[in-house]
Amino acid sequence: MPSRQKLIFALVVLLIAAVTGAGALWLTRGPGGPISSGEALVGGPFTLTDQNGKRVTDQDFRGKYMLVFFGFTFCPDVCPSELQVMSAALDELGPVGEKIQPVFITIDPARDTPEAMKLYISNFHPRMVGLTGSDQDIAAVAKAYRVYYAKAKGSESSPDYLMDHSTILYLMGPDGKFVKHFTYNTDVKALAEGLRNVIQ
Ligand code: NI
């Protein structure tokens, strides 16, 4: 290859290396500065309103594991089914289950008032906490947990609109840090087993 072409080729290689390097650096730094590589960027500070109308933050849950699911009380199938599985798994764990705080966070704050949340979670685990807040509060916590939500296409203008949302269940540690996640199709036995394996 002529020397001019060699030079251009070398510059292109250098440029690709620089872009890749910057990208890798960006990926390994969390919002709060450098993090250890491989640590999931899930969770973080939040301020929300519980089912009794009290403002709470992530700090209020320190010292306990949090099992967190995002959804909405008008959900016809996915949410009730998952909250049922969470509740049954905690019961199955007995004393170990008592170390876990089940948390349901709405992604439909317009309809899910604290009162609506209180009524809804009473169908599930007696220790379940239901969290709502302003649109901004919910947008912030959903972003922190990498949760997707949006009004379902076609139903936006109806008062009975549905919401599309992520269905990942998150286990956060007593220090507030992400421990592991479970997918929607995890059954009661597998969830209880998966929790028992990581909870001290
Ligand atoms: Ni749902």
- Rounded mean pLDDT of the chain? 88
Spacing, Cα 79 to ligand 1 middle (Å): 4
- pLDDT band for position 200 (50/70/90)? confident
* pLDDT value of residue 41: 85
CATH of domain 47-199: 3.40.30.10
pLDDT at 174 over 60: yes
* pLDDT value of residue 27: 47
- pLDDT band for position 58 (50/70/90)? very high
Spacing, Cα 54 to ligand 1 middle (Å): 24
CA distance readout (Å), 158 to 10, 14, 106, 134: 59, 54, 19, 21
- CA–CA separation, 49 and 188 (whole Å): 28
- CA–CA separation, 21 and 123 (whole Å): 50
- CA–CA separation, 34 and 86 (whole Å): 33
Spacing, Cα 139 to ligand 1 middle (Å): 17
pLDDT at 11 over 90: no
- For 109, residues 6+ apart whose C-beta sits below 8 A from its C-beta are 132, 133, 134, 135, 137, 138
Question: What residues does the ion ligand 1 have nearby, CB within 5 Å?
Answer: 71, 75, 78-79
Spacing, Cα 121 to ligand 1 middle (Å): 13
Spacing, Cα 51 to ligand 1 middle (Å): 18
Spacing, Cα 168 to ligand 1 middle (Å): 11
- CA–CA separation, 92 and 150 (whole Å): 34
pLDDT at 9 over 50: yes
Share of the chain above pLDDT 90, in %: 77
| Each residue's pLDDT tens digit, 24-52 | 544 444 444 444 444 568 999 999 999 99
pLDDT at 148 over 80: yes
Higher pLDDT, 1 or 154: 154
Share of the chain above pLDDT 70, in %: 80
| Each residue's pLDDT tens digit, 87-139 | 999 999 999 999 999 999 999 999 999 999 999 999 999 999 999 999 999 99
